[in-house]
Amino acid sequence: MTRTLEHFPNLVTMFFTRAREKGEAPFLWAKQGGQWVPTSWAEAARQVASLATALKAIGLRPGERVMLVSENRPEWCISDLAIMAAGCVTVPTYTTNTERDHAHILENSGACAVIVSTSKLARVLMPAVLRSSARVVIGIDEMRPGQTGQVDYHDWRALIAAHPGDVEAVAASVTAERGDLACIIYTSGTGGAPRGVMQHHGAILHNVEGASAVISEDFGWDDDEIFLSFLPLSHAYEHTGGQHFPIGLGAQIYYAEGLDKLASNIEETRPTIMVVVPRLFEVLRTRITKAIEKQGRISTFLLDQAVRLGGKKAAGGRIGIADQPAKLLVNALFKPKIGKRFGGRIKAMVSGGAPLNPEVGQFFESIGLTFLQGYGQTEAAPVISCNRPSVGLKHDTVGPPLKNTEVRIAEDGEILVKGELVMKGYWRNEAETERVLKDGWLHTGDIGLIDEKGRIKITDRKKDIIVNDKGDNVAPQKVEGMLTLQPEILQAMISGDRKPYMVAVIVPDPEWTQEWCAHSGTPCDFVRLGGDHDFKAAIGHAVERVNRELSQIERIRRFILADEPFTIENEQLTPSLKIRRHVLREVYGARLDALYRQ
């Protein structure tokens, strides 16, 4: 069904409008006691109105910042909307933050209140709160906050019960305009301390309107759209794409139990749209391939045929008469089974948050799943562009800009963006704001071009480009993406700035490592394997396969094996699963430099 999203004045009004339309229909779902339990639109509206009323009653004033520390759950969405309904500004933060991270954001944002979900999260958070100017803490789950000093503690549910809000009266009291500040989202910091991006209501609504147009015009906007939320809601991509976008569509949101249960959650909830980061697609691709190979020769043959036909189509080739038997078999026996594993009604899977290797997108298209790669930045609320079938899917591009979005390429190749989606600036950081916002144009720091159909193609980040000692430029993300497509390699970071050639840190794939150990009879001790000549030689074969596809200046001449995988916990990955180059250089820099002396 083709439908145009209304032009709302703010995010809260959009929510109350949808709640009025949907009434007692289910809205937010979470697992309780092994069963999916819904919160209706009407009940969510009552809770938003009551919490907004309570926040005002305990002294929060319009414009004050409220920090939100919680895993994905219905209360996250309700709290976010209630903060805005009270005229305040949401400051989402990652559940993986350290006490130091919390202290930085509390001090920088000047948050006066904090909503935290669990005792576990509160234990890390409270020491930072007690040293800050925050005066209120609200606990979602029942918890014992201990000595709170000058900070007032409130129970989330008790606050709601004690301040029943009239939904219509609260909805009518929301006067925020599109240009008003909605939230401050701290960037995940690939190169240093997080900066607070000021997103206004209009910026996020611009994204919702643009994304809604893609769904409505290319896939049809139905009354029973379903999203499965599992990326951190504190990340701009999920905050907009996994919360406010579904609200705009009047969709249901299921909160996944975690990445370990994602596959079963997909089959149970049967989502129509999935918002995912590239790393997860790469993992899913590997798991699907291995699961099919274990099913035997027929299943493996069908997968090979699907990928072959998909590659032929992507290259612009014609599926001829000789290919028809294979096409019929794939369509009849293979693709329906894959579709069922993803719930059976996926309209599109949307990748964003980091660059995706085109081969991965092509793989999912080949097995029958519509795959859209988007592009954006937190500074653009965050979606700038998205692939869409009506323009033509090309997986080495990120599609045309969303509607009402201007994009142009600067003389040095940098992508510049203009429109309502562009942030107001960085909170309390005029110098950085002036550096990236010039004459209304957001300087993205990404290098790219625009093809003949208006699709953006990203070639690399300006700041991530490696310049070797001869002045040649190397795009690290391209090489790293090719390395991690090898079955032997889980993660990789390349290095070589002002050096004669490229070197790398490589994390071996744990499943492949187990198989190699079993086959070779070598004990699977990760540290010992780092010194095992045969094991490193096996990884080297994978590197050589990649090198054959690279230019001379891009090739990896030497590599070391990582001490451990790159994770969020060891701060070598951001919460959106991008590698933190500056952290990895601190850990492995000396060993990488030593490779040039061998």
Contact 67, 37 (CB under 8 A): no
Nearest residue to 448 via CA among 438, 437, 459, 464: 459
Contact 181, 200 (CB under 8 A): yes
CA distance 298 to 281: 24
Mean pLDDT within 259-273: 90
Contact 109, 183 (CB under 8 A): no
- For the ranges 178-187, 207-216, 458-467, the lowest mean pLDDT is seen at 458-467
Q: Indicate the angle between helix axes 74-85 and 11-22, nearest 10 degrees.
A: 120
pLDDT, tens digit, for every residue of 82-132? 999 999 999 999 998 889 889 999 999 999 999 999 999 999 999 999 999
User: Per 3-state DSSP, what percentage of the chain is helix, strand, and coil (rounded to 5)?
Assistant: 40, 20, 35
Q: What are phi and psi of 196, to 5 degrees?
A: -85, 115
Q: Assign 506 to helix, strand or coil.
A: strand
Quick one: how far is CA 120 from the chain centroid? 24
CA distance 53 to 495: 53
Q: What is the pLDDT of residue 263?
A: 84
Between these two residues, 255 and 275, which has the higher pLDDT value? 255
Q: What is the band of 469 on the pLDDT scale with cuts at 50, 70, 90? A: confident
Mean pLDDT within 400-428: 96
Tokens 């309390």 -> residue: 428
Could you give the C-alpha distances from 121 to 99, 131, 196, 315, in angstroms and in order? 10, 17, 21, 49
> Is the torsion defined by CA of 427, 428, 429, 431 positive or negative?
positive
Could you give the C-alpha distances from 250 to 28, 142, 358, 381, 472, in angstroms and in order? 11, 31, 32, 20, 50
- For the ranges 159-168, 314-323, 520-529, the lowest mean pLDDT is seen at 520-529
Copy the structure tokens of residue 507. 């994390």
Mean pLDDT within 326-350: 87
Copy the structure tokens of residue 270. 């049967």
Q: Are strands 466-467 and 226-229 parallel, antiparallel or unpaired?
A: unpaired
Q: What is the band of 146 on the pLDDT scale with cuts at 50, 70, 90? A: low
Residue ranges of domains in the chain, CATH in brackets: 11-201 (3.40.50.980), 273-344+346-461 (3.40.50.12780), 466-597 (3.30.300.30)
CA distance 466 to 82: 45
CA distance 582 to 72: 29
Q: Mean pLDDT score of the chain, rounded to an integer?
A: 91
pLDDT, tens digit, for every residue of 87-99? 999 999 999 888 9
pTM over 0.95: no
Q: What are phi and psi of 160, to 5 degrees?
A: -65, -45
Q: What is the pLDDT of residue 527?
A: 56
Q: Exposure of 327 by Cβ count < 10 A (0-12 exposed, 13-18 middle, 19+ buried)?
A: middle
Q: What is the pLDDT of residue 148?
A: 67
Copy the structure tokens of residue 283. 């993992």
Nearest residue to 197 via CA among 206, 209, 188: 188
Copy the structure tokens of residue 227. 């999203």
pLDDT of residue 62 exceeding 60: yes
Q: What is the band of 473 on the pLDDT scale with cuts at 50, 70, 90? A: confident
CA distance 591 to 478: 23
